[in-house]
Amino acid sequence: MCPLWIDRAPTGSRRRARRRRHSGSTPRGACSARSCAPPPSSSRPSATATTSSPAGSTASHRTSPTGYAEPEFEGEGDHDVWRNPQDDDVLDVKPGDPAYFVKHRPVFPAAPAGAPLSPNLAGRVAAAFALGAQVQAHRDPRLARHYLAEAAAVFAQARTADVGERVSAFPHAYYPESSWEDDLELGATQLALAARELGDPRADGWARDAAKWAKAYIGSGDTSTLNLYDTSALAHADLAGLLRTGVPGAALGVRELAADLRRQLDSGVESAKTSPFRTAVDVTGFDAASKSFGFAATARLYQRVTGDTRYAAFGARQRNFTLGANAWGVSLVVGVGTTFPQCPHHQAANLAGPSKVLYGAVVNGPNGAGNFEDLPFPAAAKECTRPDESFDGRGSRYADDLSSWPSNEPAIDFTSTALLAFSLAVKS
């Protein structure tokens, strides 16, 4: 993993944002020698971010003329060093030891404080702080105003011209995000909502910014559905509520936002026509569970915006796919249903033993059969496998096996999207 840090002027305080997603060109977690090194200076993004090496890797460093501390990695990837987190604290290591950076995770500043930020990162981090401001607006207004100030400062640092490669992780291929207008729409929308809660006069300005970036996203040609990389459904739904209250000079209206939500759902409906289980996701690719939950959530968001229930059954089928209505008959949510993953690719859960269930964790689910070749068994892990290949086919496979990170690794973004979908279902 390659965590990202943001230094913002004038305080230089640090805020961290995690990014994760597999790229077809670089297997998730397979950071081999130098593969997590940052790009060369000629292509280096200007966002104020830092990276850390994968667990088990070793690194040497050199400081570039621009102040960028560039790591050179050698060693294992982040699926290979199997231990409980507290075990790192007692390691007796010194610089140069193979496990030195297991105990001492390095971070590498990408630019000075106050430099322009990759807009996807700026939008998402601004949204997170602005949401915090909304939560605290009536509990602790002083803290809420502090969060709003942090959000505004990060949002203002977004690079919106000559954006270049988005900052998500090093190398970029590990989590290859390409869109960014949706993230700025999300950030501006949450800033406007927070400002209204706090009576801040900048609310309408941020709402206009949100509408501007929503229009830019819709016309960008780089559009998708709700998943780790695309946050437009979340942004559209909340922006629609703002626009209904009146935003002078907004670049678009609720009708355009609703139309783009329909585009996302219609793409899923079309894909589902060829599936015997009427599921929208490609079960030969990554993120089957999270994308299914994304469709389920978007169906609810669309209904909230428009009152139209035409996608309700479609959304329910996508949620049901994750809960066992799939070829393998397995729930992809640990602890939910009678048949669920017993051997998640999760260090703490594996080492704790079968009596400790990782309740609520969401795993990837079925994946392309080719992604399961030559999966190593992590050293020091406890053996766990529930083999059943009878339902594999059509290029897809699901394996309830400790080594099977392509299908059985829980992830924060998988689980958070599931929580969103379930919460919207209950609320509706």
Nearest to 43 by CA among 165, 157, 180: 165
pLDDT of 122 over the 60 cut: yes
Q: Where are the alpha helices (DSSP H) in 137-231?
A: 141-156, 181-198, 203-218
Find which of 47-51, 106-110, 367-371 is predicted with most confidence, using mean pLDDT.
367-371
Taking only the tens place, the pLDDT of each residue in 261-289 is: 999 999 999 999 999 889 999 999 999 99
Taking only the tens place, the pLDDT of each residue in 242-267 is: 999 999 999 999 999 999 999 999 99
Distance CA 5, CA 12 (A): 11
pLDDT for the residue 99: 87
**Percentage of the residues of the chain whose pLDDT score is greater than 70:** 80
- How far is CA 122 from each of CA 35, 48, 107, rounded to the nearest angstrom? 25, 10, 19
Q: Say what the pTM is.
A: 0.83
